[in-house]
Structure 1
Amino acid sequence: MEQFITFGIVGLSTAAIYAIIGSGLVVTYTTTGVFNFAHGATGMMAAFSYWQLSVGWGWPVWLSVATVLLVLAPAFGLLVELLVRPVQALGEAEKLVMTIALLSGLIALARWIWNPNKARSLPRFFAEQNSFHIGSATISWHQALTLVVAIAVAVCLRILMLRTRTGTEMRATVDDRALVGLTGADPVRANRVAWILGTVLAAIGGILIAPMVALDATQLSLVIVSAYAAAIFGRLKSLPMTFVGAIVVGCMEAYLTGYLPQNPYLPGLRLAAPAILLLLALLLFPHGRLRGRDRHLSAVPLPSVRGTLVFAGVIVAFGLVLATVLGEGDLITYGQIFAFGVIALSFVPLVGYAGQISLAQLTMAGVGAIVCARLGGNGQWWALLAVMVIAGIVGAVIAIPALRLNGVYLALGTAAIAAVFDRWIFTIPSFEVFGVEIVLFDQGSVDLVGPRLFGLDVNTPAELTVFSAICLALVTIGVAALRRGRLGRRLIALRDSEAAFATLGGSLLLTKMLVFALAAGIAGLGGALYGMQLMSVTAEQFSFVAGLGIFLIAVVGGLGVVGNGLFTGTMIAGPLNAIVALWPAAANLVQTLPAAAGLAYSSGAVDDGVVPSLRRRWESALRDRLVMAVLLGWIAALWVLRVSDVVDGYVLVVGVVIGALAARSWAEARHRQVPAEPEIPVELWGISRPWTAEDGEVLSREVAARS
């Protein structure tokens, strides 16, 4: 009994922190309609800032806490409010991208400022004071402080929301912003207060929990998964129920730590428990109508057969060029373009066509890498088919919760699934099922080899690059054919209105399972290709955080276009790697670029995606056969010179860029229409221009016709 009480005290102290963080999340969402995925990262930045002030610079504890909570956190809250304000009137996708970009960017920024390879720790508050006892339970002053702060936060929030004019404005803003403005209140001020309050609460939670866990950017940011579960208990609107949910999550973690059997398969279960509880809460609790549910749906382009085939040929040609001009080391790096392209292409049917937001696609790629490593260890070609089938089955299982969820709830659900795989599934040792040994990452790495096709081993980096390019070309053709077919039209109808789709006889279960399975199969293939290119991969390379960058670049590229696969793969494995190769000191800066791109997209700097925008700008050149023939000839000549070692790779790249820009300018000049002379009114004939004999005849005919 004494042990039970002890773990209960530990659970309550942790629950107090989750309650503080979760309440800030609820206040922000109910007031602004923006679900802040970066809420935990905000607390993480506050914890690192507190460490820097108190430990790094030796400031007094009270001054460090005051600076973080009264200066840095409110200032950051105002900054976030300025960033979010433009997207507040837009659809949920734009809001989601904005906060996911903030999450990814803050993690990258923290790793840039504070070297993750250097161990850091924070002392607990009042650590020099002796613990005290309540009955048989021993309580540290840090635990007592967290409980007192949580109670104070609950009381202050109740007073603010129910007893003050500001709280009334915040609650009224939830219902109708326009009406609040007509009554003389200021909804913008209410939003600012909500963001400042939410940021300060996240900072309090981050400072309190940092001494209890490792001071790691990713781990601290994902502590928010537990707070997500608490907030879902409150259905994102009830602060008392959020506190109840926090108690459930905190106590569950503590009791799992104390009473979970000593078993090699179960340690990860405790780490994944908050994510599992979040998923269960999403599925079991009823959810109200999402704030900001009005969506700004854009038309999904219909790719032509000829254009798709030409584009597929360009992908294969691009792979051949890379395979012939790059060395083996560079091919391992830049050959990943096509593997990442396949993974990114899985977002097109799932998110672009069907509107089903998923943050677990890189997890599905990890499943594909495992299957390929275990079934294709000797180069069996059919292992790639097994990869798509098994990953597709896993994706179909994930689709079952999707029936219950939509919008931000679906994003939360898939994030929880990715967290479960990260913390538990991928860490499980080998086990047997019906006498068959199942081996995942086995707490290490897995080795992959290329397939054996037509009696030839595809093993060298050059061969794998071309093979991956062919796979990306085939998947691109398949996704384009899907868009042109009946299923593609059904998926778009599902995206537009699930209720209308079901009313007209569509099966939500079958359709969602089908598109999730298809997307997971594509992602699994991409994961297998990625593993083959690197020859060995670990579970960390398929983590939830690693997948955020791919998701953001894919969104920026345009989720409804089939060219997005090549674009995303090129951006991730091309310029980002090239910048680091040319300027190693910029490695940390490069990690923030996907987040910057996501912020630019959600703020409206990119309209419907980069790929459609590029397509419009290059339309005249792409349709001009003469210009394209000359450009292709120029590129072929540069390629021959590079293969012959007459020029180096830099000359090749610069020459291709200059040739492409020149071709575009030439095509625009060829198709530029001469503006027609403005028509001069009849009463100005002879004034604005000279009078002619024909003018008299025209006037005579007009007069005769009207008389």
Structure 2
Amino acid sequence: MEQFLAFGIVGLSTAAIYAVIGSGLVLTYTTTGVFNFAHGAAGMVSAFVYWQLSVGWSWPVPLALAAVLLVFAPAFGLMFGKTLAPTQGLGDAEKLVMTIALLSGLIVAARWIWDPNASRSLPRFFVDKPAIDLGVVTLTWHQALTIAVAVAVAVGLRILLYRTRTGVEMRATVDDRALVGLTGADPRRANRIAWILGIELAAIGGILIAPLVTLDAAQLSLLIVSAYTAAIFGRLRNLPMVFVGAVVVGLLESYLTGYLPQNEYLPGLRLAAPALLLFVALLVFPHGRLRGRDRRVGAVPLPTLGGSAAFAAVIVTLGLMLATMLTESDLITYGAMFAWGVIALSYVPLLGFAGQISLCQLGLAGIGAVAYGHLGPQGQWWALLAAMGIAGLVGAVIAIPALRLSGVYLALATAAFAVVLDRWIFTLPSFEVLGVNVALFDQGSVSITGPDLFGLKVDTTAGITVFAAVCLALAGFGVALLRRSRFGRRLIALRDSEAAYATLGGNLLVARVAVFALSAAIAGLGGALYGMQVRAVAPDQFNLVAGLPIFLIVTIAGLGVVGAGMFTGLVFAGPLNVIPVLWPALLNLSQVLPALGGILFGGGVLRDGAVAPLRQEWFPMLRDRVVAPLLLVAVLGLWGLRLLDAIDGWGFTGGVVFVIVVARIWNSARTRPEPDPSVVPVEWWGIRRPWSPDDKEVLDRGVATGS
């Protein structure tokens, strides 16, 4: 009994921290309409700043706490509020981009500032004081402080939200911002207060939990999964139920630590328990309308068959160029662009066509990689199809329980699944199911070889690169055909309105299961190709944090654009790898680029995606019957010079860039319309033609309308 109570005390103290963090998350959501995936990262950064002040620079603890909670956290909250303000006019997926970009960027920034290889720890509060004796159990002062803070936060938030004018303004702002403004209140001020308080609570939670765990950027940021679970218990709006959910999560973690049987299959279950509970809570609890949900969505481009075939040919040609020009080590790095492209392409039918948000695509790619590795140890060709089928089956299984979820809730469910894969499933040793031996990573890594295509063994890195390029080309062409098909049009209708889709006779279950299975199969293919490229894969290559940049770059490229896959592969293999090679000091800066791109996207700079302006500005020259053939000849000529060692790799790259720019300028000059001599610019009125009495009226009207 004493042990049971002791674990209960530990669980309640942990639950208090989850309650503080979760209440801050709910506060910002209920008052701003933005679900902040970076809430835990804000607490993580605050904990690192507190460590820097109190341990790194030896500031007194009260002064360090005051600096973090009274200066840094409020300023951080204002930064969050200003950065996330433009998300009000975005759709579900685009709204998540900004907060996921902040999450990914803050993790990279923390690793940049504080070396992750250095060990850091924070002392618990009042560690020098004797524990409080409660008779049966003892309570440390840190635990007592944590519980007291949670109680104070609960009381304070209740009073603020329901007993003060500011609280009423904060809750009303998200329902009707314009109406609140008409009452004389300031919606912007209410949002600023909400962000300050929300990040303040995240900072308090981060500082309280940091002494209990390792100071690691990703680990501290993902502790938010437990707070997500608590928030879902409260259905993102009920603070008392958030505290109930926190107690459930805290006690579950503590009692699993104390009473979970010691064997090789269950240690990861304790780590994955909050994510499992989050998934269950999402399915069990009813969810109301997503507050601030915006159903306005953009059009999905319709690719032409000729353009899609030409783009596929370009991808294969690029694969051939890389295979013939790069060394073995460079091919392992840069040739992986095609595998990353296939994984990224899996988002296009799922998120771009059907509007279904998934944050577990990289985990599904890991399933495809490990399935191919075990089923095809000699590169059997059928193992690749089997790996795609297994990944597709897992995707279908995810879709069935997640049928009633959408938007933020679906993103949370798929993120929880990714965490379960990473923390538990991928760590399992081999086991048997109905007499069939099932092996995943088997607590290590899995070796993967190239395919044997009916006697043609593709076992060299160059051959695998070309094979991956062909797979990306075929997958991209297939997705383009899907967009043009009846099923593709149905998926877009599903994205536009699920209710209307069902009312018109569409089967939501079939459509969602089919698109989840298809996208998972594509991701599984990409995972197998990536494993072939690098020869061996480990679980940490397919975790949730590693998959966030892919989601960001695909969204930046443009949802529903078939070229988003190749764009993502080029970004991963290009700037993210080239910058550290040329300028090693900029390694961390290159890693934060996807997050910066996500912030620019949410801010409206790349609102229409990056591929659309590229297509508009650069693709017309490929349809020019004079410029396009000469450009092709020039690029092939540079390729030949490189194969003859007449120029090096940088010479080839610079030459290609030069001829493309020249072709663009030439095409613009050829297609520029001739000026109409009868049209006189307004600044020449009265000089090149006589001034008329109507001109003044035209100018006055133009000034008045701003045209």
Q: Give the structure-1-normalised TM-score.
A: 0.96
Cα distance change of structure 1 residues 25 and 686 upon mapping to structure 2, 3 Å threshold: closer
Task: State the 1:92 CA deviation.
Answer: 2.7
Question: Residues of 2 paired with 1:482 and 1:210: CA distance?
Answer: 48
The equivalent residue for 1:705 is none
Answer yes or no: is the 8 Å Cα contact 2:381–2:454 preserved in 1. no
The equivalent residue for 2:398 is 398
The equivalent residue for 1:109 is 109
Task: State the 1:90 CA deviation.
Answer: 2.8
1:311 maps onto 2:303 in alignment: no
Cα distance change of structure 1 residues 686 and 49 upon mapping to structure 2, 3 Å threshold: closer
The 5 A counterparts of 1:256-335 are: 256-335=256-335
The equivalent residue for 2:644 is 644
Cα distance change of structure 1 residues 153 and 654 upon mapping to structure 2, 3 Å threshold: same
Answer yes or no: is the 8 Å Cα contact 1:92–1:292 preserved in 2. no
Answer yes or no: is the 8 Å Cα contact 1:444–1:538 preserved in 2. yes
1:587 maps onto 2:587 in alignment: yes
Question: Residues of 1 paired with 2:619 and 2:369: CA distance?
Answer: 38
Task: State the 1:435 CA deviation.
Answer: 2.1
The equivalent residue for 1:702 is none
Question: Residues of 1 paired with 2:380 and 2:111: CA distance?
Answer: 40
Question: Residues of 2 paired with 1:641 and 1:686: CA distance?
Answer: 59
Question: Residues of 1 paired with 2:448 and 2:93: CA distance?
Answer: 36
Question: Residues of 2 paired with 1:481 and 1:396: CA distance?
Answer: 22
Task: State the 1:130 CA deviation.
Answer: 1.1
The equivalent residue for 2:216 is 216
Cα distance change of structure 1 residues 320 and 686 upon mapping to structure 2, 3 Å threshold: closer
Question: Residues of 2 paired with 1:531 and 1:379: CA distance?
Answer: 12
Answer yes or no: is the 8 Å Cα contact 1:642–1:652 preserved in 2. yes
1:376 maps onto 2:380 in alignment: no
1:137 maps onto 2:137 in alignment: yes
Q: SS of the residue aligned with 1:14?
A: helix
The 5 A counterparts of 1:378-457 are: 378-457=378-457
The equivalent residue for 1:23 is 23
Task: State the 1:576 CA deviation.
Answer: 1.0
The equivalent residue for 2:231 is 231
Aligned residue type for 2:123: P
Answer yes or no: is the 8 Å Cα contact 1:90–1:292 preserved in 2. no
Task: State the 1:149 CA deviation.
Answer: 0.5
Task: State the 1:91 CA deviation.
Answer: 2.5
The equivalent residue for 1:526 is 526
**Residues 186-221 of structure 1 deviation map (CA, whole Å, 9 limit, x = unaligned):** 010000000000000000000000000111000000
Question: Residues of 2 paired with 1:689 and 1:71: CA distance?
Answer: 64
Task: State the 1:171 CA deviation.
Answer: 1.7
The equivalent residue for 1:502 is 502
The 5 A counterparts of 1:346-385 are: 346-385=346-385
Answer yes or no: is the 8 Å Cα contact 1:88–1:95 preserved in 2. yes
The equivalent residue for 1:633 is 633
Task: State the 1:454 CA deviation.
Answer: 3.2
**Greater mean alpha carbon deviation, residues 169-178 or residues 511-520:** 169-178
Answer yes or no: is the 8 Å Cα contact 2:175–2:292 preserved in 1. no
Question: Residues of 1 paired with 2:9 and 2:357: CA distance?
Answer: 38
The 5 A counterparts of 1:183-222 are: 183-222=183-222
Cα distance change of structure 1 residues 477 and 147 upon mapping to structure 2, 3 Å threshold: same
Task: State the 1:619 CA deviation.
Answer: 3.6
**Greater mean alpha carbon deviation, residues 374-383 or residues 613-622:** 613-622
Question: Residues of 2 paired with 1:227 and 1:611: CA distance?
Answer: 36
Aligned residue type for 1:405: L
1:159 maps onto 2:159 in alignment: yes
Task: State the 1:471 CA deviation.
Answer: 0.4
Q: SS of the residue aligned with 1:120?
A: coil
**Residues 104-153 of structure 1 deviation map (CA, whole Å, 9 limit, x = unaligned):** 00000000001111111111001111112112011111000000111111
Cα distance change of structure 1 residues 55 and 257 upon mapping to structure 2, 3 Å threshold: same
1:657 maps onto 2:657 in alignment: yes
The equivalent residue for 1:622 is 622
The equivalent residue for 1:693 is none
1:122 maps onto 2:122 in alignment: yes
Unaligned runs of 5+ in 1: 691-707
Answer yes or no: is the 8 Å Cα contact 1:234–1:242 preserved in 2. yes
Q: Give identity over the alignment, percent.
A: 68
Answer yes or no: is the 8 Å Cα contact 1:74–1:200 preserved in 2. yes
The 5 A counterparts of 1:457-536 are: 457-536=457-536
Aligned residue type for 1:44: M
Question: Residues of 2 paired with 1:61 and 1:295: CA distance?
Answer: 48
The equivalent residue for 1:3 is 3
**How many corresponding residue pairs?**
686
Answer yes or no: is the 8 Å Cα contact 2:295–2:496 preserved in 1. no
Question: Residues of 1 paired with 2:619 and 2:536: CA distance?
Answer: 41
Aligned residue type for 1:183: T
Question: Residues of 2 paired with 1:493 and 1:522: CA distance?
Answer: 22
Question: Residues of 1 paired with 2:169 and 2:643: CA distance?
Answer: 69
Aligned residue type for 1:305: L
Question: Residues of 2 paired with 1:688 and 1:549: CA distance?
Answer: 57
Cα distance change of structure 1 residues 134 and 478 upon mapping to structure 2, 3 Å threshold: same
**Residues 343-379 of structure 1 deviation map (CA, whole Å, 9 limit, x = unaligned):** 0000000000000000000000000010011011111
Q: SS of the residue aligned with 2:494?
A: helix
The equivalent residue for 1:248 is 248
Aligned residue type for 1:339: A
Cα distance change of structure 1 residues 660 and 254 upon mapping to structure 2, 3 Å threshold: same
Answer yes or no: is the 8 Å Cα contact 1:282–1:413 preserved in 2. yes
The equivalent residue for 1:694 is none
Answer yes or no: is the 8 Å Cα contact 1:28–1:194 preserved in 2. yes
Answer yes or no: is the 8 Å Cα contact 1:450–1:464 preserved in 2. yes
Task: State the 1:618 CA deviation.
Answer: 1.6
Question: Residues of 1 paired with 2:167 and 2:129: CA distance?
Answer: 38
Answer yes or no: is the 8 Å Cα contact 2:175–2:291 preserved in 1. no
Task: State the 1:81 CA deviation.
Answer: 0.8
**Residues 587-646 of structure 1 deviation map (CA, whole Å, 9 limit, x = unaligned):** 111111110011111111013111111001124312102101111111111111111111
Question: Residues of 1 paired with 2:271 and 2:406: CA distance?
Answer: 26
Aligned residue type for 2:603: S
**Greater mean alpha carbon deviation, residues 600-609 or residues 538-547:** 600-609
The equivalent residue for 1:34 is 34
Q: SS of the residue aligned with 2:133?
A: strand
Unaligned runs of 5+ in 2: 691-707
The equivalent residue for 1:696 is none
Answer yes or no: is the 8 Å Cα contact 2:101–2:595 preserved in 1. yes
The equivalent residue for 1:699 is none
Q: SS of the residue aligned with 1:618?
A: helix
The equivalent residue for 1:676 is 676
Aligned residue type for 2:431: F
Question: Residues of 2 paired with 1:164 and 1:388: CA distance?
Answer: 56
Aligned residue type for 2:159: I
Question: Residues of 2 paired with 1:679 and 1:395: CA distance?
Answer: 60
Answer yes or no: is the 8 Å Cα contact 2:336–2:530 preserved in 1. yes
Q: SS of the residue aligned with 1:443?
A: coil
Q: SS of the residue aligned with 1:625?
A: coil
Structural RMSD (CA)? 1.4
**Greater mean alpha carbon deviation, residues 89-98 or residues 345-354:** 89-98
**Residues 435-472 of structure 1 deviation map (CA, whole Å, 9 limit, x = unaligned):** 22111011111100001113121111100100000000
The 5 A counterparts of 1:88-107 are: 88-107=88-107
Question: Residues of 2 paired with 1:489 and 1:97: CA distance?
Answer: 25
Cα distance change of structure 1 residues 153 and 673 upon mapping to structure 2, 3 Å threshold: same
Bigger Rg, structure 1 or 2: 1
Question: Residues of 2 paired with 1:678 and 1:497: CA distance?
Answer: 50
**Residues 509-540 of structure 1 deviation map (CA, whole Å, 9 limit, x = unaligned):** 01100000000000000000000000011000
Aligned residue type for 2:7: F
Q: SS of the residue aligned with 1:403?
A: helix
Q: Give the structure-2-normalised TM-score.
A: 0.96
1:150 maps onto 2:146 in alignment: no
Answer yes or no: is the 8 Å Cα contact 2:94–2:555 preserved in 1. no
